[in-house]
Amino acid sequence: MRAESVAYTGQSLPRVEDAALLSGRGRFIDDLGVRPGTLEAAILRSPHAHADILSIDTSAALALPGVVAVVTGRDLAALTLPMVAGLKVNVENWPMAVERVRYVGEPVAIVVAQTRYLAEDALDAIAVDYAPKPALLDPVASIEPGAALLHDTSGGNLVSDRRFSYGDPEGAFAAAERVFEITVRYPRNTGAPMETFGIVADYDPHEGVYDILANFQGPFSIHTVLARTLKVPGNRLRMRMPPDSGGSFGVKQGVAPYAALIAVAARIAGRPVKWIEDRLEHLVGAVAATNRVTTLRAAVTAEGRITALDFDQIEDCGAYPRAPEPATLYRMHGNMTGAYDIANVAIRNRVALTNKAPTGLVRGFGGPQVYFALERLVQSIAVGLGRDPLDVIHRNLIPAGAFPYRTATGALYDSGDFPAAVETAAGAGRYAELAARRDKARAEGRRYGIGLAAVVEPSVSNMGYITAVLTPQERAKAGPKNGAQASATVSIDPTGTVSVTTASTPQGQGHRTVLAQVVADVFGLAPSDVRVICELDTGKDAWSIASGNYSSRFAAAVAGAAHMAATRLRDRLARVAAAQFQAQAGDISFADGKIVAVGGASAPFARISALSHWSPGVLPEGVEQTIRETAFWTPPELTAPDAADLVNSSLCHGFIFDMCGVEVDEVSGAVRIDRYVTMHDCGRVLHPGMVEGQIRGAFAQALGASFFEELAYAEDGAFLTGTFADYLLPTATEVPDLDILHLETPSPFTPLGAKGVGEGNCMSTPVCIANAVADALGVADITLPLTPARVAALVERPEPAPPEGAGATAKPAGRPGDRTLRGEGSAFVPAPREQVWATLLDADALASIIPGCHGVKKLSPTHFTADVTLGIGPVKGRYKADVMLSDLDAPNAATLSGNVSGALGTGGGAGRVTLTEAEGGTRVAYVYEAAVGGKVAAIGGRLLDGAAKAIIGQFFAALARRAAPDRAGLFARLLGMLTGGHK
């Protein structure tokens, strides 16, 4: 009965979202306008990776015009509680540093002012005195006994260590014919949505209510965390999301700590406060995916059948275990065996804290890290056994008839036909063509490789999986957690038209279009008859702790909940119509905007649907209102982790098989993708255009992870990738074409048979490409991102003979991440040597010749302090410099050493200046070495050498003017031109 007559669901309809977005009418958070009187915030961030805060002096900032408040960590701590983490560990998890900073970019103070410009001005006037401490960047080193502690109360930087055993891994390894092992280090990267975080917060002191508008992708569990942090009951934390969001990819879960900061700033300022994050802030401190060190062993038969896996994973969660971490480490727990039928699994999961930004949700969420190890290992097994990797994959795939399939670690895979998907993708001559292209390229002496990856893509997380970080005993004490509530509301207004709302907080995917399709089909309407509104208000909308936009849950869970709510309303409408038509409810159908009885009676949809408003008395007895229906859906399969640590971490499990051919340029290290095929089984496809868009988008993001993207730190913890010129995203010129194939095995566990699809290529593509590069170069150890320099270093070529005599004079190679500035040069000053020497030692003279100098104080004949403004690329700031003179050899030479510090960064170094007499004056020669950190390092790295040369040029031009005023004009201009300095 009531078959859905026209299935709009499954068609690539134009999106209802697009017209507004294309014409500049989008309503992103910074497009909405604010209440009159709203103030703007800017955040002062730590230039140090690890330092005690000795003092913060905000008086000068507060005295500036337009500044209303300055909020420090102590002010924050007085009004809030630390944020809870998923771990039981004694670490205070503040959203702003209180006594100590633990990563570069950590918030230290907030200025609230009339405009953003004035707030940023005031940041420079805050004086913070830091006592730097050694920084720990490497998760393996940070958990070694005796390593310095990030948190004195934590008892160690290792904040979680759990071991799991399923089946009989020891027995399987003891009996194994072969054992293979691989260690991989997965880098830090991030989703980098084009829109940064934004918040407008207000506090009502009478009702004690925080009202926070944020481009948050929650609210899910984080609403609870925030309410606790802000010390209000849940009903006094109202969170609202704007209609549009400029992408998230998981990252906008990380708005939460800033929501707390801006909320408290609004409370202290007594006015609404708005904050829009800038790109540097986003890259340095928003959300990083975890970097992970994994050692994975496999017990394997001689034929390549894997009988056991043994994972040792060390997860780097950065400086604070911020909720929902360490979820990245556990999201994959049920599907650690991927697409393979492996009965015996051992896992050791450790969580390390380091002096890096805290981690959180990023598209793929644990998948890239796990599959990089697993699929690299599968390829290594094939190489080690002399077999085709496709053969090893086939041998281990879960067989077609095995679904629903329970994995060793507890997941219940819903549906699939992995062998058919692989055969389809590799068939039709595709794999053979790749092999032929490889053969041909290699015959011509080119480096060509083939990569494969088979991946299970989980979606619709089980809220309870994160509790696997606790022992079964701890879980029993805390009570079970599980489920994946999704909600949707369908309403009918007095004109009989249909509206839909959900708690899915879309981040640009097109949810409004799909919901209109799904609901229209239920009611026999056109999608254009259904209006969908997705901006969420936790104060009055239907939501639960699992609501939000994460874990690819829209198609599988949220669209299903909307279908459920619509179906319930429709069934009631059928009974109402039956009463009107004197028919049976079972004889009523909905099609083409009409409600029709079998006998032929019919009425326009609105005629029946509005009755509940206009004449509720005509509703048959026992039929409830047809005005509004809210459905909450949670799948029964998502049970809590059990006493044996079996974890059904996700409801749906899509399948991906990727295959690619790449060619590596031996000399440049450039990798060209020749062919890329990606096969997806994401269950029933609701909107093919959007599914393709998700696949292409994830693929492009994965290309970034493969070749370009790493949130990089120097050894001292300085952050090095603070701009899009340092943290490179793929552009249209780097993304190759992609062959997308589909197999549909509908999920039996979701209302519409759909599964998630948006994250899969972030899991499969990086390792597929790595496998291809490994194959091309015949190497075993591949680390992402595969930058040209890194690839070129992997190419096995005969070492060129060192130039003669090079051994004695060769400089040590720069360390990775080392951005030490080194330089030397000389300048001619048309003045006698003694005069130049005297000028260099004269505080007043120095004040007039140091570029940007506001004053020099001579503390002793060999110790000066200076206050200078320096501009490096886009970063211009005021610094305090402390300069010591040593090894004085008047009037021939002196060594200058010292350091500078300011809100924009820090630096330290030394240089030797020598003066020699020359025709008509003095030749001043110099050699220097300096290191920089803070904001300057993060965004000015590429520009530092040039800037240093320009500043030095300016210095000597000024020295020439000062020491020889008569001839300075022309000379200084010439020198300025030669050195690139100005004036």
Partner 1 sequence: MPRLSATALHDVRFTLNGRPARVAAEPRLLATDALRHGLGLTGTHVGCEHGVCGACTILIDGVPARACLTLAVQFEGRDVRTVEGLAPSPDRLSVLQEAFRRHHALHCGFCTAGILMSVDAFLKTTPDPDEHLVREVVGGHLCRCTGYSAIVAAVLDAAAILRGDGSNV
Question: By the criterion CB under 8 A, which residues form the site for partner 1?
Answer: 12, 14-15, 17-19, 21-26, 28, 30-31, 117, 191-196, 244-247, 249, 278-279, 507-510, 689-690, 692-693, 695-701, 723-725, 729, 731-735, 737-738, 874, 939
Q: Which is nearer to partner 1, 510 or 953 (CB)?
A: 510
Q: Which is nearer to partner 1, 118 or 212 (CB)?
A: 118
Tell me how far apart the alpha carbons of residues 190 and 766 are, in angstroms, rounded to a whole number. 14
Q: Which is nearer to partner 1, 729 or 888 (CB)?
A: 729
Taking CA atoms, 366 is separated from 133, 311, 313, 905, in Å, by 31, 14, 11, 33
Q: How far is the CB of 874 from partner 1 (least distance, A)?
A: 6
SS (H, E, C) 24-58: CCCCCHHHCCCCCCCEEEEEEECCCCCEEEEEEEC
Tell me how far apart the alpha carbons of residues 238 and 202 are, in angstroms, rounded to a whole number. 10
Render 679-747 in DSSP notation, one character per residue: EEE-BS-S-HHHHHHHHHHHHHHHHHHHHT----B-TTS-B---STTTSPPP-TTT----EEEE-----
Q: How far is the CB of 239 from partner 1 (least distance, A)?
A: 20
Q: Which is nearer to partner 1, 24 or 805 (CB)?
A: 24
Q: Which is nearer to partner 1, 159 or 287 (CB)?
A: 287
**What does the block give as tokens for 953?**
């040029």
First-to-final CA distance of the chain: 85
Tell me how far apart the alpha carbons of residues 284 and 49 are, in angstroms, rounded to a whole number. 11
Q: How far is the CB of 12 from partner 1 (least distance, A)?
A: 7
Tell me how far apart the alpha carbons of residues 964 and 957 are, in angstroms, rounded to a whole number. 11
Helix axes 968-979, 944-963, angle to 10 degrees: 170
Q: How far is the CB of 942 from partner 1 (least distance, A)?
A: 12
Q: Which is nearer to partner 1, 100 or 687 (CB)?
A: 687
Cα dihedral across residues 531, 536, 539, 541: positive or negative: positive
Q: How far is the CB of 505 from partner 1 (least distance, A)?
A: 12
Buried b (16+ CB within 10 A) or exposed e, 118-136: bbbbbbbbbebebebbebb
Q: Which is nearer to partner 1, 334 or 704 (CB)?
A: 704
Strands of 445-517, DSSP E = 447-461, 486-492, 498-502
Question: What residues form DSSP beta bridges with 882?
Answer: 865, 899
Residues 6+ apart with CB under 8 A from 869: 852, 854, 876, 877, 878, 879
Task: Name the strand (E) or helix (H) holding 979.
Answer: helix 968-979
Tell me how far apart the alpha carbons of residues 802 and 798 are, in angstroms, rounded to a whole number. 12
Q: How far is the CB of 692 from partner 1 (least distance, A)?
A: 8
From 605, 643, 565, select the one nearest 164 (Cα to Cα): 643
Q: Which is nearer to partner 1, 24 or 622 (CB)?
A: 24
Q: How far is the CB of 443 from partner 1 (least distance, A)?
A: 29
Q: Which is nearer to partner 1, 213 or 964 (CB)?
A: 213
Q: How many CA atoms does the CB half-sphere of 121 hold within 13 Å? A: 14
Q: How far is the CB of 701 from partner 1 (least distance, A)?
A: 7
Q: Which is nearer to partner 1, 689 or 746 (CB)?
A: 689
Residue with tokens 């591949």: 782
Cβ-contact 143, 353 below 8 angstroms:
no
Taking CA atoms, 729 is separated from 313, 700, 702, 815, 873, in Å, by 28, 9, 10, 24, 21
Q: How far is the CB of 728 from partner 1 (least distance, A)?
A: 9
Pairing of strands 671-681, 530-533: unpaired
Taking CA atoms, 511 is separated from 8, 508, 555, 687, 762, in Å, by 14, 8, 9, 10, 21
Cβ-contact 662, 674 below 8 angstroms:
yes
Q: How far is the CB of 125 from partner 1 (least distance, A)?
A: 17
Q: Calculate Rg over the CA atoms of the chain.
A: 32
- Say how many C-beta atoms besides its own lie within 10 A of residue 79's C-beta: 16
- List the alpha helices (DSSP H) in 201-298: 220-229, 255-269, 279-285
Q: How far is the CB of 42 from partner 1 (least distance, A)?
A: 13
From 87, 206, 64, select the one nearest 155 (Cα to Cα): 87
Residues 6+ apart with CB under 8 A from 540: none
Q: How far is the CB of 695 from partner 1 (least distance, A)?
A: 8
Question: What residues form DSSP beta bridges with 295?
Answer: 183, 312
Q: How far is the CB of 646 from partner 1 (least distance, A)?
A: 36
Tell me how far apart the alpha carbons of residues 328 and 390 are, in angstroms, rounded to a whole number. 29
Q: Which is nearer to partner 1, 358 or 693 (CB)?
A: 693
Q: How far is the CB of 875 from partner 1 (least distance, A)?
A: 10
Q: Which is nearer to partner 1, 637 or 726 (CB)?
A: 726
Q: How far is the CB of 188 from partner 1 (least distance, A)?
A: 17
Q: How far is the CB of 435 from partner 1 (least distance, A)?
A: 26
Tell me how far apart the alpha carbons of residues 145 and 279 are, in angstroms, rounded to a whole number. 37
Tell me how far apart the alpha carbons of residues 545 and 630 are, in angstroms, rounded to a whole number. 16
Q: Which is nearer to partner 1, 295 or 869 (CB)?
A: 869
Cα dihedral across residues 216, 221, 222, 226: positive or negative: positive
Q: How far is the CB of 61 from partner 1 (least distance, A)?
A: 19
Q: Which is nearer to partner 1, 756 or 909 (CB)?
A: 756
Q: Which is nearer to partner 1, 455 or 700 (CB)?
A: 700
Q: Which is nearer to partner 1, 300 or 939 (CB)?
A: 939
Q: Which is nearer to partner 1, 192 or 498 (CB)?
A: 192
Q: Which is nearer to partner 1, 195 or 681 (CB)?
A: 195
Q: How far is the CB of 390 from partner 1 (least distance, A)?
A: 26
